[in-house]
């Protein structure tokens, strides 16, 4: 349908043409279906903007899983002992598996996998900032496995209730696998926290370094975010950044403190009356800097994906056939 010349500009042009043909009746019926809890499937009528926003959202999620395999991949060859080695391998494999599910879900909306991968390596499409940070020690794997995955699960559970059928189905599968990630992540985390003083120190150091990126994970505070009421009506955005961040803190800070580990924020505390966690400003300038490409690992992450594209070209080309009409049902 779109081929490798697919660009956002072309998509916008096509969508604008379609939008002019969008009748208010169709839109009303669409919104009524969503309000009634119905799911939208690939061949259903949908507003051009719904399609565009979902492609962007699912694609970014797919890229995040793909790139997310890299910081943890840092320690694949060095995992200590059989149990950790196999668990880490299975976990990173799952990330690739999740990427696969999500690229397929996004593709149902009309953007081919080739186009998405190209937009990733050109730097055009974004992915979750948190994966632009380095996994400096083995303990980083415990922090990522427990807390980054924990944050992702908060996100995924909420989004799995969204209106788009294929995305919801992919998320359901992902959430099921994530429960393994969380448990083994917590197991690793607790093993280090309750282990030797060297292990504990390594974990505390990792925790100190990942805390800010974790707070950034859910995006800028609501007061700074540009909100689209449409995305809420259409059940594309199902919770505010602040709500999800608060949920995360509520679930995980107690689990960190129960091990007598500290977090690098003296202000961090929960208001028991409101249920809201308060924390110091986690430096949103850094967040924007990293998202624009100036983070510690951005260049490396994209270079690895470029290398994969290059190294695998002969394989993919040798087996590729001329393309005809493609439909995916996901």
Partner 1 sequence: MNPKEAIQNLISRMADNAFILGHRNAEWTGIGPTLEEDIAFSSMAQDKIGHAFQLYTLMHKYMGGLSPDDMGFNRTEKEFLCCQFVELYTNDYAYALIRHYLYDHAEAIRYQLLRSSSFRPLADLAKKIAGEIKYHTMHADLWMKKLTLGGNEESKARMQTALNEAWPYALGLFEITEAEESIMQAKVFTGEEDLKSQWMAHILPAVERFGLRIPAYAEPVFGGAKGFHSHWLSPLLEEMTEVFRTDVSTEW
Partner 2 sequence: MKSLDPRIDKLLQDMPPHPSAYLEGQCWEAYEVFQQPNTGESYSHVGSIHAPDPEFALLFAKEQYGRRSHTANMWVVKSSAIVAFSPDETDIFDTTPEKVYREPSEYNKVRDKIIQWQEKKQNK
With beta carbons less than 8 A apart as the criterion, state whether 320 and 160 touch: no
Q: State which of residues 39, 134, 190, 279 lies at the interface with partner 2 (CB under 8 A).
A: 134
Residue with tokens 């998509």: 11
* Count, residues near partner 2 per rule CB under 8 A: 55
Is residue 85 within 8 Å of residue 141, measured between CB atoms? Answer: no
Per the listing, tokens 């996901």 go with: 330
Residue 114 found at the interface with partner 2 (CB under 8 A): yes
- How far apart, in whole angstroms, are the C-alpha atoms of residue 128 and residue 238? 18
Q: Is 37 in the site for partner 2 (CB under 8 A)?
A: no
Q: Are 107 and 330 in contact (CB under 8 A)?
A: yes
Contact at 8 Å (CB) between 134 and 231? no
Q: How many helices (H) and strands (E) does the chain have?
A: 14, 2
Q: Which does 79 bind (CB under 5 to 8 A by kind): partner 2, partner 1, none?
A: partner 1
Among 228-236, 240-248, 283-291, 317-325, the segment contacting partner 2 (CB under 8 A): 317-325
Q: Give the binding-site size for partner 1 (rule: CB under 8 A).
A: 43
Shortest distance in whole angstroms from residue 138 CB to partner 1: 5
Asked if residue 316 binds partner 2 (CB under 8 A), the reply is yes
Are 97 and 262 in contact by the 8 Å Cβ rule? The answer is: no
Sole binder of partner 2 in the list 34, 54, 117, 148 (CB under 8 A): 117
Closest CB 116 distance from partner 1, rounded Å: 11
Q: Does 74 bind partner 2 (CB under 8 A)?
A: yes
* Binding residue (CB under 8 A) for partner 1 from 191, 240, 242, 259: 191
**Residue 197 or residue 274: which is nearer to partner 1 going by CB?**
197
Which tokens in the block code for residue 227? 């909100």
The residue among 199 and 240 lying less far from partner 1, judged by its C-beta, is 199
132 is a site residue for partner 2 (CB under 8 A): no
Residue 307 is a binding residue for partner 2 (CB under 8 A): yes
Cβ closest to partner 1, residue 91 vs residue 245: 91
Residue 129 CB, shortest distance to partner 2, in Å, is: 18
- d(Cα 226, Cα 244) in Å, to the nearest integer? 16
What are the strands, taking DSSP E only, across the chain?
Answer: 269-271, 276-278
Best CA proximity match to 58, nearest among 182, 155, 146: 155
Q: Is 328 in the site for partner 2 (CB under 8 A)?
A: yes
Q: Which residues pair with 278 in a beta bridge?
A: 269
Q: How far apart are CA 88 and CA 261, in angstroms?
A: 23
Contacts to partner 2 by CB under 8 A: 3-4, 41, 43-45, 70, 73-78, 97, 100-101, 104, 107, 112-115, 117-118, 121, 134-136, 169-170, 173, 177, 300, 303-304, 306-307, 309-311, 313, 316-317, 319-330
């Amino acid at each position: 349908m779109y081929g490798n010349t697919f660009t956002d500009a072309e998509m916008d042009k096509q969508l604008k043409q379609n939008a002019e043909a969008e009748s208010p009746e169709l839109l009303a019926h669409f919104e009524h279906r969503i309000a009634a809890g119905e799911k939208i499937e690939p061949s259903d009528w949908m507003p051009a903007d719904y399609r565009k926003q979902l492609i962007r959202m699912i694609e970014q999620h797919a890229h995040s899983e793909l790139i997310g395999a890299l910081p943890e991949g840092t320690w694949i060859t060095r995992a200590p002992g059989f149990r950790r080695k196999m668990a880490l391998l299975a976990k990173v494999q799952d990330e690739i598996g999740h990427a696969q599910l999500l690229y397929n879900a996004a593709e149902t909306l009309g953007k081919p996998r080739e186009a998405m991968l190209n937009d990733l390596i050109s730097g055009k499409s974004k992915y979750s900032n948190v994966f632009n940070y380095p996994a400096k020690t083995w303990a980083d794997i415990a922090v990522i496995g427990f807390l980054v995955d924990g944050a992702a699960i908060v996100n995924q559970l909420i989004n799995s209730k969204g209106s788009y059928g294929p995305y919801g189905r992919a998320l359901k599968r992902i959430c099921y696998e994530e429960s393994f990630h969380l448990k083994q992540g917590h197991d690793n985390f607790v093993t280090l926290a309750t282990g030797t003083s060297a292990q504990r120190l390594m974990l505390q150091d990792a925790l100190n370094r990942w805390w800010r990126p974790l707070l950034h994970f859910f995006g800028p505070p609501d007061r700074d975010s540009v909100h689209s009421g449409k995305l809420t009506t259409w059940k594309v955005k199902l919770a505010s950044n602040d709500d999800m961040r608060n949920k995360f803190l509520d679930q995980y800070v107690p689990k960190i403190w129960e091990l007598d580990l500290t977090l690098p924020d003296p202000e961090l505390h929960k208001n028991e009356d409101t249920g809201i966690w308060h924390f110091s400003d986690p430096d949103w300038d850094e967040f924007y800097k990293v998202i624009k490409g100036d983070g510690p690992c951005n260049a490396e992450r994209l270079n690895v994906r470029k290398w994969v594209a290059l190294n695998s070209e002969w394989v993919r080309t040798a087996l590729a056939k001329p393309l005809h009409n493609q439909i995916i049902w996901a």
